[in-house]
Chains A and B, each alone.
Chain A
Amino acid sequence: MKKGCTEMKGTSIKAIIFAFATLCSSGIAFAGPDLGAAEQQATNWHAIIMFMIFVGFTLFITKWAAKQTQSTQDFYTAGGGISGFQNGLAIAGDYMSAASFLGISALVFSSGFDGLLYSLGFMVGWPIVLFLVAERLRNLGKYNLSDVVSFRLEEKPVRTLAAVSSLVVVAFYLIAQMVGAGQLIKLLFGLNYNIAVVIVGLLMMAYVMFGGMLATTWVQIIKAVMLLSGATFMAFMVMKAVGFSFSNMFNQAIGVYSQAHNMSLDEAAKIMGPGKLAANPIDALSLGLALMFGTAGLPHILMRFFTVKDAKEARKSVVVATGFIGYFYLLTFIIGFGAILFVANNPQFLDVAKAAMTGKLELIGGNNMAAVHLSDAVGGDLFMGFISAVAFATILAVVAGLTLSGASAISHDLYANVFKKGKTTPQSELRMSKIATLGLAIFAMVLGILFEKQNVAFMVGLAFSVACCANFPVLVLSMFWKGLTTRGAVIGGVVGLVGAVSLIILSKAVWVDTLGISETAPNPFNGPALFAMPLSFLCCWFFSVTDKTARAEKERKAFDAQFVRSQTGIGISGASDH
């Protein structure tokens, strides 16, 4: 693949991949707006064959899972029969997307310490999920986050709100992943963009529709194991080359960096400290908050807690997941520095023509390919094929999880509980969830193709912002604060949702860079979390305490029973359907 290109427009998928990393902060300098310019590569047969093996194996698992997926419970939560360890691995799989693998290692490759800042934000959300959310969530809910927030509040408005904001998160995230998948596959496999999007769409539909949560979980576990082993091997080879000494690695990296970027050693040593990423303190804090609390509001992650049998297993899943995710981020850090050592000075991986134009260091296929080139440098063609296949598998697994949680919002929340007011049969709900899966898959494929040339960085920003500004406050207050009423939850949730979305639209990344409405943005800050999240909390509080209706009184009274259940799990859903 690396020989097949002469004129790469490298920044192309950069925006996409950094999209995930960019999160709420859509305006960060490197998230350049030009997407869709990734040039098709020569067909990479090693990667394609290895990917076919993965697909064959996972489809086999789907066939097995389909036999066991009979009820809605099976479909949404794999019958609650996943063990804590398996679920932890699957959560880690959900979290270690291709974007964080390629994006963070690329960020370390190009600016050192700043890459570490991102991993940190992703990491610190997990202890919060464990301490405040995981156990109560498992004890209160059945299938998804809407179950929990509507536990003692009025079903119709609260469940609708939770379903809508979950769907918003899922939709933005899904589109960004689809466009990212198409671009990445075009680069790694040399496949046509549209074909790549359709392949991803069809496979994810097959996993979810036939295999439900059981198949999705196993796809996630297999991919997590593949990704962790591949990354471990790469990090090991890098550490071996520097004699297992970090200061050795840093020293050599600065040397290579200064040559490759044509700068003095002193200048190059700046990669050892914070750079441009968090230029102003407000953005740094806002980004930190969004990363930290957004995690605790992502519907496809929260849904995973219902696949285990009780709160104790949910607790275990988070500890296992946090361990694997932390390990993974340490690996990406080493891989990023390894890429400086092995890739930055190797003419085989450099795009000289492009570098002559931009005057910067440019890698073939864009700087996000740092980890992929490193895999070639340390493991040869075959290993690079493996890493490419892992990147594809990763996207597939993440979109499957997203689709499943979107389907549950449509069939379980909107259809069964809001539209049919709970008067539906499990069979018709299950049928509806399959129709929803089909619909979401088509939606994702069509938008994936339509958005090929669009900047989708802000969409992932929206997804995380909505998760942290709309889902998180309502979820936490409903579980912890007796005083929350339906009115408070609905107004607070809507304010968080609308506030986050409008602050992002008014920020530089969308207002100036994407929409091109004016030269300066009305909102000078990049991340909305620092403002919209407290505002949402405030509205939840204010409109709850001023709520004097009889309904509000009843809802406050119902807190005691909810509290006991959230602590003890008494009455937690068994194996039956409704």
Chain B
Amino acid sequence: MDDSQVDRILHNPKFQEMVSKKRTLSWTLTAIMLFIYVGFMLLVGYNKEFLASSFSGGITTWGMPLGLGIIVLSFLLCGVYSYIANTKLDQLNEEALKEVEAITHEKGMH
């Protein structure tokens, strides 16, 4: 891969769209995960009473569904990422590469 090819890929609108979408997706999901987990750990650190209080009047406390929920949520977030990447981003990437390849090929003919 030479510099001009790198340049062409970088300036391809489809590539740019894919990169910006992927960037938004990964950082949003990372932020959600961090926010939830750090928030939960702050609760553990500063508000133990809340986590130990009853969830619905019974014996189950708020801590249990929240804690187990975070385990399930981690997996769901992975699923969301993978779904969007598989159905949208991979395709954009492929199209961008095809366009760039076509240009490279044309130039080679002249």
Q: Which secondary structure dominates where chain A touches chain B? A: helix
Contact B71 A329 (CB under 8 A): yes
A113-B63, A120-B67, A123-B71 known; A281-B78 Cβ under 8 A: no
The answer to the question of B103 belonging to the interface, with a C-beta cut-off of 8 Å to chain A, is no
Cα distance, A281 to B64, chains bound together (Å): 19
Q: Cβ of A173: which chain B residues have Cβ within 8 Å of it?
A: none
CB < 8 Å A-B pair total: 147
Tell me, in angstroms, the Cα distance from A564 to B64 when the chains sit together.
44
- Are B82 and A316 within 8 A (Cβ)? yes
Residue B38 at the chain A interface, CB threshold 8 Å = yes
Do B51 and A273 have beta carbons less than 8 Å apart?
yes
Cβ–Cβ < 8 Å partners of B68 in chain A = 116, 330, 333
Q: Is the CB of B64 within 8 A of A272?
A: yes
Q: A113-B63, A322-B74 are in contact. Are A568 and B81 (CB under 8 A)?
A: no
Give, as a whole number of angstroms, the nearest-CB distance from A287 to chain B. Answer: 8
In Å, the complex CA distance between A131 and B80 comes to: 11
Q: Known contacts being A254-B59, A272-B52, is A281 close to B46, with CB within 8 Å?
A: yes
Per DSSP, are chain B's interface residues mostly helix, strand or loop, or mixed? Answer: helix
Within B30-77, which residues are at the interface with A (CB < 8 Å)?
Answer: 30, 33, 37-38, 40-42, 44-46, 48, 51-53, 58-61, 63-64, 67-68, 70-72, 74-75, 77
A126 within 8 A of partner (CB): yes
User: Which chain A residues lie closer than 8 Å to B59 at the CB level?
Assistant: 247, 250-251, 254, 269, 272
Q: Are B82 and A288 in contact (CB under 8 A)?
A: no
Known: A113-B63, A272-B60, A274-B63. A126 touches B74 (CB 8 A): yes
Chain B residues contacting A570 (CB-CB under 8 Å) are 1, 9, 97
Within 8 A of B (CB), among A235-287: 246-247, 250-251, 254, 269-270, 272-274, 278, 280-282, 284-285, 287
Shortest distance from the beta carbon of B94 to any chain A beta carbon, whole Å: 9
CA–CA, A307 to B93, complex, Å?
Answer: 23
Flag if B42 contacts A561 (CB, 8 Å): no
Chain B, 75-106, CB within 8 A of any chain A CB:
75, 77-79, 81-82, 85-86, 90, 93, 96-97
Please give, as numbers and ranges, the residues of chain B lying within 8 Å of A128 by CB-CB distance.
30, 33
Are the C-beta atoms of A119 and B61 separated by less than 8 Å? no
Q: Which of A130, A246, A280 makes the CB contact (< 8 A) with B78?
A: A130
B44-A560 in contact (CB<8A): no
In the assembled complex, which residues on chain A have CB atoms less than 8 Å from the CB atom of B90? 312
- Please pick, from B7, B15, B41, the residue contacting A285 in the complex, using a CB distance under 8 A: B41
By the criterion CB–CB under 8 Å, are B26 and A284 in contact? no
Indicate whether A318 sits within 8 Å of B78 (C-beta atoms), given known contacts A561-B3, A570-B97.
yes
Determine whether the beta carbon of A288 is less than 8 Å from that of B38. Answer: yes
Taking a contact as CB atoms under 8 Å apart, the answer to whether A131 and B29 are in contact is: yes
* Chain B residue contacts of A131, Cβ below 8 A: 25-27, 29-30, 33, 81
Nearest-CB residue, chain B, relative to A273 = B52
Q: Which residues of A does B touch, CB under 8 Å?
A: 113, 116-117, 119-120, 123-124, 126-128, 130-132, 246-247, 250-251, 254, 269-270, 272-274, 278, 280-282, 284-285, 287-288, 292, 312, 315-316, 318-319, 322-323, 326, 329-330, 333, 560-561, 563-565, 567-568, 570-571
Q: List 14 other contacts, CB 8 Å, given A123-B74, A560-B7.
A: A116-B68, A124-B37, A127-B30, A130-B82, A269-B59, A274-B44, A292-B37, A315-B85, A329-B71, A330-B71, A560-B6, A568-B9, A568-B93, A570-B9
